[in-house]
């Protein structure tokens, strides 16, 4: 059987399917039928028992290697057994006739609300544990086993409804052969991470979870957006060959890693690396002229607490030292949208990508923002720090963010903590700032274009939603017209501008972007070699000719044709 979806990250993989079910469903408020109370109570007691057993297994597995982490699960066991909770839930079921799942949800909710209100930060932090335990109980109520991706037993193809960035960030990358999902846009953060690790990914496979089975053998041909279930012998042989060619090409391309980025006529193009702070990414630092996007939010994700200033300082310092004097564009916390933190409560928003995201979130959480800026400033002593703010929409945003930097500097001076000179920049990923790039250029030292978000906001198409993928047109003529305006504004002001979104590693689009005036492109490690190779085969004259044609186009398909024929 062949399933189709969209290529989110290229490549071919063969292996067994691992079905990953995430997130419990929030139960709807409902009551037990007459006389059903006892069976709901019994089911709650058995779910509770299962939870204890699952926690015992986790504790036994990690006790030796990570005793601190084990303590978290020991605390979870205590919550499962909490006396008051275990009076409340049975009473809600037996006396108020609430269904078991709704009683769990509701009772834990009351506790969570009380914990979150307290001013004692240690007590408030416990809310995360209550939240985790509730999710676990509701998952078990729905008959689902634990499917954490950080401790996979063998190499597998992950099949999921949707993967969140936290899942991807936490998963054991060496054991993931490929990822296939029902939902998720091809420029979602999950897709970007998969791509940066060279993991083939196919998104938007309709009805996937109703079709695939745990352990089923499959071939993922991400280049073609195909998933072949239970392939016959001939197909398997054919794909084994394809995989061999894929790996051979990858090896051959690797020699381009060591070369400089330059056009066939010798124009230097800076190639940057997008990183989320993993050692594997940092190993690739030698192949890049700069780090064009350091996604610091991954340091905050997948954990129950916030990283303290010293911990952040250590990480930023490590990255800066690794780039050894080359610029590191450190992006301040870009949370919200599809990226959430377990350590903080996020308000439910109708449109999270248009909501309290990135810089807006930081303005609303000044302590978190200040701590991060202080850590970055302190680390700047060890390298060449270019600090940048995500999701800037106006000059007021820039001015306000700069005040935070000034305050952080004052704080550090008071504490006699050393800090270095830095450059201050912005991400251009919202049309409102893109359209006044000429004014913004005077307020900052540099800019980096987040083409992924820029495209979603420009085309009004959610990057996470595969249903509207056809509307998410990164080749839309409006994109190129906007990009042309940005690069000319920044060039006039004599300030550098880079592209760190996925368009910047699109081999077909890069010549046109060079023709528009861009000289800096930052990308995940997996595309560095192929982009360098593509650039080396075109002259600046050719790039300018392509750019001229692109600017004259009226539709994305015309632009696509130009790229195909160039």
Q: Tell me how far apart the alpha carbons of residues 276 and 298 are, in angstroms, rounded to a whole number.
A: 6
**160: phi then psi, degrees, rounded to nearest 5:** -145, 160
Residues 6+ apart with CB under 8 A from 247: none
Which partner from the list ligand PEP, Mg ion, none does 451 bind, CB cut-off 5 to 8 Å by kind?
ligand PEP
**Cβ 361 to ligand PEP, closest distance in Å?**
13
Contact 155, 176 (CB under 8 A): yes
DSSP code per residue over 484-502: HHHHHHHHHTT--EEE-SG
**122: phi then psi, degrees, rounded to nearest 5:** -65, -40
Site for ligand PEP in 250-289 (CB under 6 A): none
Active site residue 553: no
**Cβ 10 to ligand PEP, closest distance in Å?**
18
Q: Tell me how far apart the alpha carbons of residues 284 and 528 are, in angstroms, rounded to a whole number.
A: 10
Residue labelled with tokens 């996020």? 346
The partner residues of 226 in beta bridges, in order of sequence, read: 4, 221
Catalytic residue among 189, 362, 459, 553: 189
Q: Tell me how far apart the alpha carbons of residues 128 and 131 are, in angstroms, rounded to a whole number.
A: 5
Nearer to ligand PEP, 332 or 452 (CB): 452
The interface region with ligand PEP, picked from 229-237, 265-273, 446-454, 528-536 by CB under 6 A, is: 446-454
Is residue 293 involved in binding ligand PEP (CB under 6 A)?
A: yes
Interior CA angle at 243 toward 224 and 152, to 5°? Answer: 90
Q: Following CA atoms 558, 561, 562, 564 in sequence, which dihedral angle do they give, to the nearest 10 degrees?
A: 160
**Cβ 277 to ligand PEP, closest distance in Å?**
13
Helix (H), strand (E) at residue 274: strand 270-275
**Binding residue (CB under 6 A) for ligand PEP from 100, 184, 425, 501:** 501
Active site residue 97: no
Q: Tell me how far apart the alpha carbons of residues 57 and 286 are, in angstroms, rounded to a whole number.
A: 42
**Binding residue (CB under 6 A) for ligand PEP from 88, 101, 221, 429:** 429
Nearer to ligand PEP, 27 or 336 (CB): 336
Q: Tell me how far apart the alpha carbons of residues 482 and 516 are, in angstroms, rounded to a whole number.
A: 11
Nearer to ligand PEP, 246 or 475 (CB): 475
Nearer to ligand PEP, 104 or 505 (CB): 505
Is residue 450 involved in binding Mg ion (CB under 5 A)?
A: yes
Which partner from the list ligand PEP, Mg ion, none does 336 bind, CB cut-off 5 to 8 Å by kind?
none
Q: What stretches of 33-155 adopt beta strand conformation (E)?
A: none
**Cβ 229 to ligand PEP, closest distance in Å?**
31
Structure tokens at 83: 């006396």
**Binding residue (CB under 6 A) for ligand PEP from 11, 200, 272, 450:** 450
Which partner from the list Mg ion, ligand PEP, none does 293 bind, CB cut-off 5 to 8 Å by kind?
ligand PEP
**Cβ 429 to Mg ion, closest distance in Å?**
5
Site for Mg ion in 426-445 (CB under 5 A): 429
Burial class for 536, CB neighbours closer than 10 Å (0-12, 13-18, 19+): middle
The interface region with ligand PEP, picked from 34-42, 148-156, 239-247, 444-452 by CB under 6 A, is: 444-452
Q: Is the alpha carbon torsion for 429, 435, 439, 441 positive or negative? A: positive
Catalytic residue among 362, 500, 505, 553: 500
Total number of residues binding ligand PEP (CB under 6 A)?
12
**Cβ 463 to ligand PEP, closest distance in Å?**
8
**Binding residue (CB under 5 A) for Mg ion from 182, 397, 453, 502:** 453
Nearer to Mg ion, 327 or 450 (CB): 450
Residues 6+ apart with CB under 8 A from 233: none
Nearer to Mg ion, 454 or 562 (CB): 454
**Cβ 361 to Mg ion, closest distance in Å?**
13
Per-residue binding letters, 400-429, with Mg ion (x by CB under 5 A): -----------------------------x
**Cβ 503 to Mg ion, closest distance in Å?**
12
Burial class for 436, CB neighbours closer than 10 Å (0-12, 13-18, 19+): middle
Is residue 352 involved in binding ligand PEP (CB under 6 A)?
A: no
Site for ligand PEP in 176-195 (CB under 6 A): 189, 192
Nearer to Mg ion, 179 or 388 (CB): 388
Nearer to ligand PEP, 162 or 221 (CB): 162
Structure tokens at 397: 């945003």
450: which DSSP letter? -
Residue labelled with tokens 């539709």? 555
Q: Tell me how far apart the alpha carbons of residues 341 and 306 are, in angstroms, rounded to a whole number.
A: 9
Nearer to ligand PEP, 189 or 495 (CB): 189
Contact 183, 161 (CB under 8 A): yes
Contact 261, 268 (CB under 8 A): yes
**Binding residue (CB under 6 A) for ligand PEP from 104, 500, 538, 543:** 500
Is residue 451 involved in binding ligand PEP (CB under 6 A)?
A: yes
> 100-104 long-range contacts, Cβ below 8 Å, gap at least 24?
100/32, 100/40, 100/41, 100/43, 100/44, 100/47, 100/141, 101/27, 101/138, 101/141, 101/142, 102/27, 102/28, 102/29, 102/30, 102/31, 103/40, 103/44, 104/27, 104/44, 104/134, 104/137, 104/138, 104/141
Q: Tell me how far apart the alpha carbons of residues 74 and 25 are, in angstroms, rounded to a whole number.
A: 25
Nearer to ligand PEP, 41 or 169 (CB): 169
Is residue 452 involved in binding ligand PEP (CB under 6 A)?
A: yes
Per-residue binding letters, 463-502, with Mg ion (x by CB under 5 A): ----------------------------------------
**Cβ 344 to ligand PEP, closest distance in Å?**
19
Is residue 453 involved in binding ligand PEP (CB under 6 A)?
A: yes
430: which DSSP letter? S
- Binding-site ranges for ligand PEP (CB under 6 A): 189, 192, 293, 295, 334, 429, 450-453, 500-501
Catalytic residues: 189, 500
The binding site for Mg ion (CB under 5 A) comprises 429, 450, 453
């Amino acid at each position: 059987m062949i399933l189709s979806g969209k290529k989110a990250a290229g490549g071919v993989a063969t292996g067994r399917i691992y079905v990953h079910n995430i997130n419990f469903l929030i139960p709807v408020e409902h009551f037990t039928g007459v006389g059903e109370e006892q069976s709901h109570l019994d089911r709650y007691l058995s779910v509770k028992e299962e939870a204890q057993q699952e926690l015992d297994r986790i504790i036994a597995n990690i006790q030796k290697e990570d005793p601190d982490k084990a303590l978290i699960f020991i605390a979870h066991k205590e919550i499962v057994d909490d006396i008051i909770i275990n009076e409340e839930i049975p009473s809600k079921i037996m006396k108020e006739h609430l269904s078991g799942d709704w009683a769990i949800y509701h009772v834990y909710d009351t506790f969570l609300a009380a914990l979150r209100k307290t001013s004692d930060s240690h007590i408030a932090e416990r809310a995360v544990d209550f939240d985790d335990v509730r999710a676990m109980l509701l998952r078990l109520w729905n008959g689902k086993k634990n499917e954490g991706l950080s401790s996979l037993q063998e190499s597998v193809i992950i099949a999921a409804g949707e993967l969140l960035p936290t899942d991807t960030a936490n998963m054991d990358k060496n054991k993931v052969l490929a990822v296939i999902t029902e939902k998720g846009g091809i420029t979602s953060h999950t897709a970007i991470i998969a791509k940066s690790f060279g993991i083939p990914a196919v998104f938007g496979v309709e009805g996937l979870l109703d079709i695939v089975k745990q352990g089923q053998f499959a071939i993922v041909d991400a280049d073609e957006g195909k998933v072949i279930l239970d392939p016959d012998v001939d197909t398997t042989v054919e794909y084994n060959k394809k995989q061999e060619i894929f790996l051979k090409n990858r090896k051959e391309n690797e020699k381009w890693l060591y070369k400089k980025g330059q056009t066939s006529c010798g124009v230097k193009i800076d190639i940057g690396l997008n990183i989320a702070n993993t050692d594997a990414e940092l190993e690739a630092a030698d192949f890049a002229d700069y780090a064009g996007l350091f996604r610091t939010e991954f340091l905050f994700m997948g954990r129950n607490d916030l990283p303290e200033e010293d911990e952040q300082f250590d990480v930023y310092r490590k990255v800066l030292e690794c780039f050894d004097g080359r610029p590191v564009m450190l992006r301040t916390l870009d949370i919200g949208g599809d990226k959430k933190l377990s350590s903080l409560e996020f308000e439910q928003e109708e449109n999270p990508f248009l909501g309290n995201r990135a810089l807006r979130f930081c303005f609303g959480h000044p302590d978190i923002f200040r701590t991060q800026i202080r850590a970055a400033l302190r680390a700047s002593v060890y390298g060449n720090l270019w600090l940048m703010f995500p999701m800037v929409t106006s000059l007021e945003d820039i001015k306000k963010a700069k005040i935070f930097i000034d305050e952080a500097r004052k704080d550090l001076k008071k504490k006699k903590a050393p800090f270095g000179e830095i450059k201050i920049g912005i991400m251009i990923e919202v049309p409102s700032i893109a359209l006044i790039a000429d004014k913004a250029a005077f307020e900052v030292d540099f800019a980096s274009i987040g083409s992924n978000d820029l495209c979603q906001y420009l085309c009004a198409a959610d990057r996470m939603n595969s249903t509207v993928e056809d509307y998410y047109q990164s080749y839309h003529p409006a994109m190129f017209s906007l990009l042309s305006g940005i690069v000319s504004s920044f060039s006039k002001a004599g300030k550098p501008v880079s592209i760190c979104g996925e368009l910047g590693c699109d081999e077909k689009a890069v010549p046109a972007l060079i023709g528009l005036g861009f000289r800096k492109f930052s990308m995940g490690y997996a595309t560095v070699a192929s982009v360098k190779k593509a650039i080396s085969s075109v002259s600046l004259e050719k790039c300018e000719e392509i750019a001229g044609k692109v600017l004259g186009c009226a539709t994305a398909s015309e632009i696509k044709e130009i790229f195909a024929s160039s």
